[in-house]
Structure 1
Amino acid sequence: MTTILGRYIIRQVLLGTALAALLLVALDAVFALIDELRDVGRGDYGVAQALMYVALTLPRRMYEMMPPAALLGGLLLLGNLAAGSELTAMRAAGMTVGRFVAWVMQGGLIVVLAMVAIGEFVAPVAENRAQNLKATAFDRELSVGSMGLWARDGRRIVHAEAVLPEDRLAGVRVVELGEDRRPRVITRAAGARYTDGEWWLEDVERSRPDFDGVVTEHADEERVERLIAPEYFSVLVVEPAQMGARDLHRYIQYLQENRLDSAPYEVAFWQRLTLPASTWVMLLLAIPFLFGSQREGGAGRRLFVGIAIGVSFAIVMRAMTHVGLVFALPPVLAASAPVLLFLVAGLLGLRRVA
């Protein structure tokens, strides 16, 4: 059973993380809104749509900001206990560093559970709606949802199962309608790419209704005049970091089955699994500075330390992502190496104050 003192520590962890998350997400949302204002005026995309778009991306931003929020919240609010000599009184009453760490980790568990719920159940749905809102505002003939991309160009209906980075589409189907609105030609392709101002379909199979049945044609590669406007790719493409673990897993299977490069999505998948663990690691890193702050420094020093550690973690994680892709490292290694590195640093710091 958690004692009254333990519940007090847990509340401080939760309150500090919540306040820091609100601050970080608010700052991130302001910069995101400024960036979205550049697109205002394209089609029906106005200020109201930009505000709604940013609002729908808030769950994803909160998920991404949770580790640094836990670090800053732990340093600032738990640091107040050290500044007010409360930690000294607790240790004089018999509280060990181990018990304090256990209580902080219990608060971290609640944060991690909330983080997973937001990242896997709320953020993907909200992100999908945000993407569809922006695409539809740009062009009413575009629609993006759980069933992929749909676009209409006169009598042509284009469907793609996935919009991939580097101007690529996966699982393309083009239906050309006749004057009676009935399908006249149905073209299926494993993928499509936009290169040097031209669209190229890959592994093409075309079906045409005939009096004798259905005539089928096949081609390994075929150029088409138009598919979708390439300028919409910045709106339609879903970056790996914006997808939930389940969606990433399905994407990876789809890409591997169609012999497409899945490495960025595999790294993002493992980062998705290790990011909640990094919240615990950030809280663990904060503890040595809490006990150290009883002797020197104040809130300003703790804030500087938190920002420095958070920025360092983000730099190392991004660097390992690129290193893993360039040198073809196992995705699980590229994703987990930063977390393990900072975990070791946190454990070494605890040894000094234990």
Structure 2
Amino acid sequence: MRTVRRLIYRSVASSATLVALAFAALAFFIDFVEESQDLGKNGYTVLDALWTCLLMQVRHIYDLMPIALLIGGILALSRMAQTSEFTILRTGGLGPWRALQLLAGLGLMSALLVAGIGNWAVPLAEQMLTQQHARFSSQQQLTLGRGGTWLREKREVPGMGTHTITVNVGSALSEGEFGLVRIFEFDARGQLTRRLSAASAKVDAVQAAREAGAMLPAEGSVWRLQGVTDTRWLSHERLSQEAALAGLKVIDERQSAALDWSSSLTPLVVSASVLPPESMSAFALWRYTRHLASNAQAAQRYEIQFWKKSFYPLVCLVMIALALPFAYLHARSGSMSLKIFGGIMLGISFVLINHISSHLGLLQNWQPWLAAAAPSLLYLLLSMSVFAWLVRYQ
């Protein structure tokens, strides 16, 4: 059985690798043509464009691995069926469920590889790609849309109840460093009491700041603000009592070159807020959804992406299950090429539906895990039904 496993694994793996390389080469060519439009701008060279395209390939390979496994599996197994190799294996004792177990092992190894790429290589490559884009942008920073990105936290103030802190980040300068930062503090009744405006901010973990002697909570971060404008408003009671006094300042505004502001927002949460959900690891998505839920912010988009990221490696098992029935097709019945083409189209339709389901789940307010798992369960049931029919009647 070890020889049979080696034969099937080598055939499927070699075909899938060739398909993945072909897709990656096509994606690299398209990316390079697009990046070549920026050559010469802000010192952007050909080597920089090549490096940018290489970083993009990590995400492309992650997206293409399941479909490459499907096409490679279909080509390898249908070729074995055409040359009667699989028929000989069946005659030698390779039963249907044993064949399913063999290919499930290959699918599981592929799933582990996809999980490693998606949770380690893709976030690292996307982070480097973000820094690359910011480096050659006209303002040497990455803008985060017209309104920037927003964060929120709640803080217990002794004797004053729960204060709500809202943070707006306008741009990302580098890893852990952001520009155009605004911090708004509201008291327990929702009245604005303080606003911090900074030209830039560097977010350090609490541990590094505690080693420098600061008294900080066990978890969170220190925002080292530069170019700070600190504006404070008097409380409603003080304002009503003292507004009648002539010359009283009801707003206290101070300028400072630097200011340290402690926060419960961890560097992981801050970094997650400026990255697209598709480029985050499952752990980062889980931490960020917990933060959003605890601060009464909409988290469904990130919850769907978390479950999608968690279920995505299992797509490899679905792709293998879709490819297995092609080993039981008879070349003598004709239309083999048409059947192979139909199988490839079926796999592509799965990829499309898998992408659409998350958007439908967001629009229709489905359960996040259901929106992420429904396409995989549907196509797995379809492939197992076809496999059982072919085993029985072919």
TM-score range, shorter chain: 0.7 to 0.9
- The amino acid that maps onto 1:157 is A
Tell me which residue corresponds to 1:94.
Answer: 93
Give the Cα separation in 2 of the matches to 1:293 and 1:186.
77
What does 1:225-264 align with in structure 2 at a 5 Å threshold? 238-264=275-301
Correspondence for 1:330 among 358, 362, 367: 367
Out of 248, 254, 260, the position equivalent to 1:208 is 254
Displacement of 1:209: 6.3
- Name the CA shift for 1:302/1:50 in 2 (closer, same or farther; >3 Å): farther
In the alignment, structure 2 segments of 5+ residues that lack a partner are: 142-171, 182-196, 204-220, 233-251, 262-272
What is the match of residue 157 of structure 1? 199
2:31 counterpart residue number: 32
Tell me the amino acid that sits aligned with residue 176 of structure 2.
M
What is the root-mean-square deviation of aligned Cα atoms in Å?
Answer: 3.2
Whether the 8 Å CA contact 1:320–1:334 is kept in 2: the answer is yes
Find the residue that maps to 1:185 and give its secondary structure.
strand
Q: What are structure 1's unaligned runs of at least 5 residues?
A: 162-170, 178-183, 189-205, 217-235
Correspondence for 1:185: 229
Aligned to 2:15: 16
User: Which of 144, 147, 169 is equivalent to 2:176?
Assistant: 147
Indicate the residue corresponding to 1:71 in structure 2.
Answer: 70
Percent of aligned positions that are identical:
29
Q: Following the alignment from structure 1 to structure 2, what is the Cα–Cα distance between the partners of residues 20 and 299? A: 19
Quickly say closer, same or farther: Cα 1:335–1:94, change in 2 above 3 A. same
TM-score, length-scaled by structure 2: 0.67
The TM-score, its normalising length taken from structure 1, stands at 0.74
Q: What is the one-letter code of the residue matched to 2:33?
A: I
Give the deviation of 1:112 after TM superposition. 1.4
Structure-2 change in CA distance of 1:173 and 1:303 (3 Å): farther
Structure 1, residues 138-162: CA drift from partner, whole Å, max 9, x if none? 146425555253579xx9633487x
Q: Which amino acid aligns with 1:92?
A: T
Letter in 2 for 1:81: M
Q: Give the whole-Å Cα distance in 2 for the aligned partners of 1:37 and 1:78.
A: 40
TM superposition shift of 1:43: 2.8
Cα displacement (A) at 1:35: 3.0
**Equivalent residue of 2:136, what SS?**
helix
Q: Which amino acid aligns with 1:311?
A: I
* Superposed CA offset, 1:183-221 (max 9, x none): x52589xxxxxxxxxxxxxxxxx97369xxx9x9xxxxx
Amino acid at match of 1:6: R
Equivalents in 2 of 1:314, 1:264: separation in Å? 19
Out of 329, 334, 346, the position equivalent to 2:383 is 346
2:242 aligns to what?
none
Cα distance in 2 for residues equivalent to 1:350 and 1:110: 22
| 1:349–1:144 CA distance, 2 compared to 1 (3 A) | farther
